[in-house]
Structure 1
Amino acid sequence: MAKRFQAPVARRAIRPGFIARTDGFDVDQIVADLENHPEQEGLLSRLLSVSDLTEKTYKRFAENPNSLYNWYPAIEKALAESDTELKTPDTKVMRLPIELAQFIRLEYPETSQADKDLFNQFIFDQFDLEDGKTYFIKTGTFSSKFQFANAKCSEPREMGEYFQVINNFAMTVCAGHTVDLVVREYIEDVEDNPTIYNGMPLRTEFRAFVDCDKNELIGVVPYWHPIVMKHALKSGLSESIQQDYQTYLSHEQHLVDSYNEL
């Protein structure tokens, strides 16, 4: 029955001034209604994550404080002006125009190869990518790093398609609240560590929590926290996750020792 209210995806979705809608719902009105009911915050978030863009939703996502586009410049500036040796990977961030921000919300299998090719070229040119180089990519709010084969892009001329696949998945897990894309320097693993999550190196990493209002460090913990990792992987049902669990167990002591040493 829902299909009776849905407009088919246009054969060519990328056209100036054209927003390739996939439904006929009055999203702005539904959002306005839900905002009057704070107890429906979860439903509102899920609705926004999967809805077509309107001018209002585009503006809302552009103002999302969790998008890297909005907070990263302050971090970059602070590190540049400090005397710390900390640095971040080279990072380029782009805010898509509404037509293209909507395009990557369309389901990947339902868009034409001609549109995919056009978007691939746009991404390659706008991010000034280089052939033969590997990049780490994400949207403004979602990296898809647990499907690491998508987040690590070694095919820069097909990066637009990578972004569409990542954003499609982000929308299904309530993380489709951004109109921004990010391309970062990929730091190769020089220690030949084992990998989990379809290619993510199990290397020593640190997670720092900082109160930026008080300028205080709250604490630092291992990125691969043993309690969290064993809980998350042990309960996984798929064969690949169980393989990841065994891989983690075999490398856990090395990660703990390296973290404590550093």
Structure 2
Amino acid sequence: MLDIFKNILNKKKKLTISDKDKIAALLGTNAEALEAFEKAYHKEMLNEPVSDNLFAVNAKQASGMQEHITVEDAFVSDLIDRIVAELLQNTTYYTYKDGKSSSRTYHVLSPSTPVTKEEIMALPAELRPQLTGDLMIRDIKDDAYPALIGIYTDYRMEKDPKKKRQLYGMFRQGLELQDLDEIMYRMLEMNQNSIGNWFPQLTEAVSEHSFFQIPDTTIIKVPLTMLQLARLDYFTLTRTSLEIVDRFCEKAFHLDREKEYFIKTGVFSSKYDFRNARVSGAEEVRTLGEYLLYIQFQSGCYAHYDLSGRNQPVMSGQGSTVEWVVREFIQDKEDNPTIYKGLPLHTEYRVFIDADTDRVIGISPYWRSDVMKHRFGHEEDQDSPHQIHDYITYSAHEKILTERYNANKERIIQEVEKLLPDLKLNGQWSLDIMQNGDDFYIIDMALAKNSALNDCVPKGLLRDAEEDWIPKLKETSRYVSDEDICVCCGTPVPEGTMICANCQAKLH
């Protein structure tokens, strides 16, 4: 098995689909051979050099590329702690642990005086923090939200389908790439797919029943100035800035360096290189903040035209969140083989639900055969050692996945329908369930219309979901005081106004 990977790595042998299927058939009937195949892959392939393609660089590699030095200067270290205290102050979080949930706000003893720009500029450039609780670096001085709201207004009013799609794409791209301001932050909070907008309702519903489990989870709303760091080039961030993020996350998430964690943003786990999502060992946990920051940075890059030439299509959605998430890591009870550079190949179920009618409208294997084999065996990178490994591993394990799925599918549907009356959400959603031995964990949700595999929903049952990206702002922003924003044109209007002076829309 080791020779197979050495030959693949040295490009001495190009495997056809038939070759891969023959190897998979052998491994599927020989557990010892499959284990040897896995060990050979992990030894030979998971320590490859860092790619020059940003989308192939994972968080572990990115963190390793940074200079990890101990901050010995007492003044700098004290400055870092003061900034962390500023950031923690009033940071809100939601936690679910041991079947109980709570939502709180951190109230820490803030420094007597905030860190000033003068203090920062007194440091050498390589030691300067690029954020405080109130200060941050932006590429453009003016706020981006007026232009974004203008594009969104044009999108809402446009009748031509092609132009409408273009305007929506421009709006979503800008929302993920432009420098942040307070109103853009509030707009990002409106994303229905972001975990904070559905997870509390899910935990309440699950607590009324005994079948499903949910991993221990902490969600924080990332302070605006810290989230702005992800709009900068990650590789230009100073060691001091990264140390601030690390210390902040260690305190905000109450991390234990002896534990192992699964991490994601509010909408994006980047688990398709599992080294992004799994954090273990004292040093990785200590620098967990860098992992989250890099994932947030990378997710926004998917929407960047300048980076799309590297065989990477322009996509928006992965960066539309203000939340970071740390969860307990669920240890694999079944000794499953892995795909995606370390992700255990559990049996998973994607269930489509209608929360308005409390019924299941579709179900599919999460790792559906046609999708997975096409991904690993018929795309441009099909000859990559990673895709060859994943095609063979998936094919060898496919029978077990199928048998487990078929054995439990009807029970999953029944148990989901039991909890739906207690799920206080509206609309149609996908619900992702992971099986681990005899335990079934609900691990993710998203709007059904945004979810892959929704072709399993019978024709005519799947509905579109209305989006609203305009937050209501009353006495919450330095930009708008005692005012709302017109949902048609985005113009701030005084409270109680009946007709918008800009677009003449009726407001009440």
Could you say which residue in structure 2 is the equivalent of 1:181?
A: 324
Could you say which residue in structure 2 is the equivalent of 1:166?
A: 295
Q: How many residues align?
A: 254
Q: How does 1:80-159 map to 2 (within 5 A)?
A: 80=207, 82-154=208-280, 155-159=284-288
Q: How does 1:1-262 map to 2 (within 5 A)?
A: 11-24=128-141, 26-38=143-155, 39=164, 40-80=167-207, 82-154=208-280, 155-173=284-302, 174=316, 175-238=318-381, 239=384, 240-262=386-408
- C-alpha displacement of 1:237: 2.9
- C-alpha displacement of 1:107: 2.4
Deviations 1:190-219 (A, max 9, x none): 222111111111111111111111111122
CA distance in 2, matches of 1:75, 1:160: 26
- C-alpha displacement of 1:115: 1.1
| RMSD value, Cα | 1.9
Gaps of 5+ in 1: 1-8
For residue 89 of structure 1, what is the amino acid of its counterpart? P
For residue 165 of structure 1, what is the amino acid of its counterpart? Y
For residue 166 of structure 1, what is the amino acid of its counterpart? I
CA distance in 2, matches of 1:43, 1:63: 18
- C-alpha displacement of 1:88: 0.7
CA distance in 1, matches of 2:232, 2:388: 32
- C-alpha displacement of 1:226: 0.7
Deviations 1:72-110 (A, max 9, x none): 000001111x23411211111100121112123332211
CA distance in 1, matches of 2:137, 2:219: 24
CA contact 1:105–1:164 (8 Å) conserved in 2? no
CA distance in 1, matches of 2:142, 2:274: 34
CA contact 2:266–2:322 (8 Å) conserved in 1? yes
CA distance in 1, matches of 2:223, 2:137: 13
CA contact 1:136–1:151 (8 Å) conserved in 2? yes
For residue 371 of structure 2, what is the amino acid of its counterpart? V
CA distance in 2, matches of 1:100, 1:37: 31
CA contact 2:127–2:240 (8 Å) conserved in 1? no
CA distance in 2, matches of 1:23, 1:151: 32
CA distance in 2, matches of 1:159, 1:130: 11
Deviations 1:25-82 (A, max 9, x none): 65223212311322110121112111211111001112222110121000001111x2
CA contact 1:196–1:244 (8 Å) conserved in 2? yes
CA distance in 2, matches of 1:10, 1:29: 34
TM-score between both structures, scaled by the size of structure 2 = 0.48
CA distance in 2, matches of 1:26, 1:54: 6
CA contact 1:11–1:111 (8 Å) conserved in 2? no
TM-score between both structures, scaled by the size of structure 1 = 0.91
For residue 255 of structure 2, what is the amino acid of its counterpart? L
> What SS is found at the alignment partner of 2:274?
helix
